Amino acid sequence: MKDKAPIEVQVLLVGGRQTPNVIGVLTQRPSIVEFMVSKDEREETLHGLRAAISPIDGVTLADSSEPFDPFDFQLALEKCKQICDKYGGPHIYFNLTGSTKIMALAAYQAAKDYGASAFYVDTANCRILPVVGTVKQALLNLSIEQYLSAFGRIPKPSFDFQKLSFKQKVAEEVSCLLAENDQLVRDLLMLIRQSQGKGRRKIALESELLGMARRLVDLGAIDLQKDNLGIEIRTNEDWNFFTGGWLEVYAWSEAQKQTDKEGQPIFQDCKLSLKIPSDRAEKEIDVVALYQGQLILCSCKAETNPFHTHTLDELSAVANLIGGRYCSRIFVTNALLEQHKTKDEFLAQAKQREIVIVSGENLANIGEIIVKQALHPDYWRV
């Protein structure tokens, strides 16, 4: 009979930037997480940290100890020793990254004294560095599937370019055209959405829309009727694309194009249209990008009036399954917000839920906006 794997304990020092603490748990997957908390840290920081890592599969969170003076070396050392005495040293791992220098020095000393380990999360170079002892070799360039699996979620792709009557390249070109802040585009899409039936759909157009329609015909995405007075959508899958899928494709395509100063992709992974299981019903992620082990979620609504509270709550519900405030959230629509009668109320609701709004007025900048939320988010992540 094989011996059971030892219980591994990761100790998080809570006294600074907490992203490395979440990454440490995501990549190392300890059995138990202990917390040492600076009295100078905000209560919401600890709450957000616990909320981010509590859904991670197979991880148990210990009760948080009483916050203490982060500049009292002897007290910090004593707290580290108490944890080592509680579990025994060899299978304890101190994450030194998210704390004051004094707390980190105390944890370093305790790790040496007890034969434990200590490590540092180097987010700039996407790696985890052992400082004392050993640590599982883990790069931070997780895939989105690996990230979601840490939360016990197995995603299923729900968009397939192969089902369209035109090629993926055409779909991306069409999405860029439809993302233009143009009322004719919105009017054309509204007529397509209102068309009834299944399979091939014929849609009559007013003369002012024919120019825009011909641009889509030239791309090979739709057909012009023989009398040149209307268009034809070829399949149900094409119709679904024009009624909403195009916006997801646009946000996903633009995110993938973003590069750093060296020409390397900003995001380690980008995915389009995923379904994830939950206890009650499947949830949908329209677009997701992964930056240094952190998710940027986009909910895309190509509707005439998507400015409702429930659309924001849907995005929050998805985020809460896979990291909560550790995920940045963006609500994307091609509808115009500036002149909408509920603009102020909707923006206030979004702010309360820490959701960034991208409407038709600034849709063309979606790639840059996603990058900003990755590098310098509007709302604090954890």
Strands 269-276 and 156-157: antiparallel
CA distance 95 to 118: 6
Give 153-170 pLDDT, tens digit per residue. 889 999 999 999 999 999
User: Greater confidence, 126 or 380?
Assistant: 380
Strands laid side by side in the 60-61 sheet = 60-61, 32-37, 9-14, 92-95, 117-122, 127-132
| pLDDT number for residue 2 | 44
| pLDDT number for residue 139 | 63
Burial grade of 370 (CB within 10 A; 0-12, 13-18, 19 or more): buried
Residue range 136-158: mean pLDDT, rounded:
82
Give 177-198 pLDDT, tens digit per residue. 999 988 999 999 999 999 988 8
Asked if residue 138 has pLDDT above 70, the reply is no
Looking at residue 299, the DSSP 8-state letter turns out to be E
Asked if residue 55 has pLDDT above 90, the reply is no
CATH number for region 9-140: 3.40.50.10770
CA distance 73 to 132: 18
Q: At what angle are helices 343-352 and 309-321 packed, to 10 degrees?
A: 10
Chain mean pLDDT for the chain: 91
| pLDDT number for residue 341 | 86
Give 340-376 pLDDT, tens digit per residue. 888 999 999 999 999 999 999 999 999 999 999 999 9
Contact indicator for 38, 64 with CB cutoff of 8 Å? no
CA distance 59 to 53: 8
Which range has the worst mean pLDDT, 155-169, 213-227, 268-282?
A: 268-282
- Euclidean distance between the first and final Cα of the chain, in Å? 42
Asked if residue 10 has pLDDT above 90, the reply is yes
| pLDDT number for residue 98 | 84
CA distance 47 to 53: 10
Residues of the chain with CATH 3.40.50.10770: 9-140
Give 198-216 pLDDT, tens digit per residue. 889 999 998 899 999 999 9
Cα torsion 342, 343, 344, 349 to 10°: value is: 80
| pLDDT number for residue 292 | 84
pTM of the model: 0.84
Give 285-323 pLDDT, tens digit per residue. 999 999 988 899 999 999 888 999 999 999 999 999 888
Tokens of 60: 């148990």
| pLDDT number for residue 4 | 54
Does the domain formed by 248-375 have CATH 3.30.2130.10?
Answer: no
